Amino acid sequence: MLNSFFLNGSKSEQSLVQSLVNEQLRMYGVEVYYLPRRYLKTNSVIREVIQSEFKDAYPIEAYVDNYEGYSGQGTILSKFGIENRDDLQLIISKERFEDYISPLLANVPNSKLNSRPKEGDLIYFPLGDRLFEIKFVEHEQPFYQLKKTYVYELRCELFRYEDEVLDTNVEDIDDEIAQIGYIQTLSLIGAGHTATAEATVCANGAVNKITISNMGKNFSSTPLVGFSSAPAGGVTAEGIAAVSYSYPGCKGKSGVVTSIQLTNAGCGYTEPPMITVQGGGGSGFAATTGISTDGSIMFITVTDGGSGYLQAPAVSIGQSAGVFPTFDNTTYQFDSTLYTWDSEFPSPITDAVAISTISTAGIVTDIYVIEGGEGYNAAPLVFIEAPPSLTEGNIGTGTFIFNEVVIGQTSNTSARVKEWNATTNHMEVSIVDGYFQVGEVIVGQESGGRYMIGGYVTDDLVTPYAQNDVIEFEADKIIDFSSQNPFGMP
């Protein structure tokens, strides 16, 4: 029978021991951060956590029980590569957690079990600048001294990232996984502006049409195009060939020449020049030319390449343009100026046809003449289709925020911003839920940033050896968790 005159387990004695423990932890411990996990989505079958985030970080003193350094298996070479399996054991005050952290967690949504540290939460260990995940919480050691426990022993393992969102507003913590996980790189387009160009007309003797009678075969590269020389005082025509390896009837890699694009239609020809192609590894090409006798487009010069183009824009010349508002058969408006066809730009007998090319940066680089038209007694206006971003409105506005959710307005695909470079308009995103589409507008849910996707790279350029997406895709083939019972009937 216990001594009735000794107050074993009284509140005063327990408080004294707890105070001594707290003081020892402050003297010999290290300040760590406790990060509670928010459970956003769990599996309906085995309750596996599908999506979680860490939005809060609470500093608390802890005693490092690993007096010889990290425990665990350390750095090992496994079939998955080099792995770091360091363990860490920390001791924190039970009273400090219950009086300081638990009340703060009471209002945190989706945190679960706020009365004590729980498995799955994270510890940021500043001495090694590392994140550790709590795997087990021991709350009965030392075993009920004076009928009470005073500390929690946290047994932790080095954190393994699984698409968790870490956004605590503590830079030293958030940068731990800023470049970890499967990351896509998006090339975004701002507002952009419309390209402009000017046409030059040859009064007589320009090549205005090329008719291909035999596209040839077996061209493995683009051949050089040659025209017979123009008479003295004239200008010899120049052009480039367009080769296709997927033209209907073209088998395998047997390339054919589908068109000749004029960079300069020449001028002063008195008869149609001969046209030949050389090189490219193919043979059999044959074509004839036609020349104009009454004003034809000689070449088109790009005066402003514009910006924001996703694909080569349409080019319209004179009255063949369909990109400007017409008021009647004789007048039209362009750049707030009203023009009259008959007096200022007489209608041609045959409309010219041209195509454009763009660079990878979305800028118009060249305009080639396909048919020079006829009947131009003055240089016609050249109209280039506006970039699609101009028709969307408010494109190229806002600055994306780290870790905010961005959503594609067409595909409804969502992702988290990892890094945004406003100079190059490149954005790295992770936790991509779906597939973005080129040309759709992407909107930041916090910043309100609006840009158009000009292209994206699904290969992880940040961590080229990451296989997270591949593993997840293959795993979905084994068990489909979209049904309530993946082992039987849905």
Domain that includes residue 346, residue range? 196-386
Kindly give the confidence (pLDDT) of every residue in the chain, 490 residues in length, as a single tens digit, with 9 standing for 90 and above: 677 766 777 888 889 999 999 999 999 999 999 999 998 877 766 666 667 889 999 999 999 998 777 887 777 776 666 677 889 999 999 999 999 999 999 888 888 888 899 999 999 999 989 999 999 999 888 888 888 999 999 999 999 888 888 889 898 898 888 777 778 999 998 878 889 999 999 999 999 999 999 999 889 899 999 999 999 999 999 999 999 887 766 555 578 999 999 999 999 999 999 999 999 999 999 999 999 988 899 999 999 998 888 889 988 887 544 334 343 444 444 444 544 444 444 456 688 899 999 987 789 999 999 999 888 888 888 888 888 877 677 788 889 998 899 999 999 999 999 999 988 889 999 889 899 998 899 999 999 999 999 888 887 777 666 665 666 677 777 766 565 665 555 5
Whole-model pTM? 0.64
Q: What is the model's pLDDT at position 34?
A: 96
Domain final position from 335, 362, 386: 386
344 in a structural domain: yes
406 in a structural domain: yes
Claim to verify: residue 18 and residue 153 sit in the same structural domain: yes
Give DSSP secondary structure letters for 407-430.
EETTT--EEEEEEEETTTTEEEEE
In angstroms, the CA 4 to CA 22 distance is 29
Claim to verify: residue 144 and residue 263 sit in the same structural domain: no
In angstroms, the CA 382 to CA 380 distance is 6
Claim to verify: residue 96 and residue 204 sit in the same structural domain: no
Claim to verify: residue 251 and residue 297 sit in the same structural domain: yes
265 in a structural domain: yes
483 in a structural domain: no
6 in a structural domain: no
Measured in degrees and rounded to the nearest 5, phi and psi for residue 112 equal: 65, 145
Would you give the DSSP letter of residue 89? E
Claim to verify: residue 139 and residue 247 sit in the same structural domain: no
Claim to verify: residue 407 and residue 440 sit in the same structural domain: yes
In angstroms, the CA 181 to CA 465 distance is 10
Would you give the DSSP letter of residue 323? S
Yes or no: say if 294 and 365 are a contact pair by the CB < 8 Å rule: no
Ranges assigned E (strand) in 305-352: 315-317, 331-334, 337-340
In angstroms, the CA 221 to CA 279 distance is 8
343 in a structural domain: yes
Claim to verify: residue 344 and residue 448 sit in the same structural domain: no
Count of domains for the chain: 3
Measured in degrees and rounded to the nearest 5, phi and psi for residue 320 equal: -75, -10
Yes or no: say if 243 and 222 are a contact pair by the CB < 8 Å rule: yes
490 in a structural domain: no
Closest among 374, 355, 364 to 242, alpha carbons compared: 355
The residue behind tokens 């090409």 is 285
Q: Which amino acid is at 424?
A: T
Claim to verify: residue 397 and residue 467 sit in the same structural domain: yes
Domain final position from 121, 140, 174: 174
Claim to verify: residue 157 and residue 64 sit in the same structural domain: yes
In angstroms, the CA 74 to CA 125 distance is 16
Domain final position from 386, 402, 419: 386
Claim to verify: residue 324 and residue 404 sit in the same structural domain: no
Claim to verify: residue 98 and residue 235 sit in the same structural domain: no
In angstroms, the CA 206 to CA 198 distance is 17
**What tokens appear for 403 in the block?**
């870790």
Claim to verify: residue 276 and residue 129 sit in the same structural domain: no
488 in a structural domain: no
Helix (H, G, I), strand (E, B) or coil at 373: coil
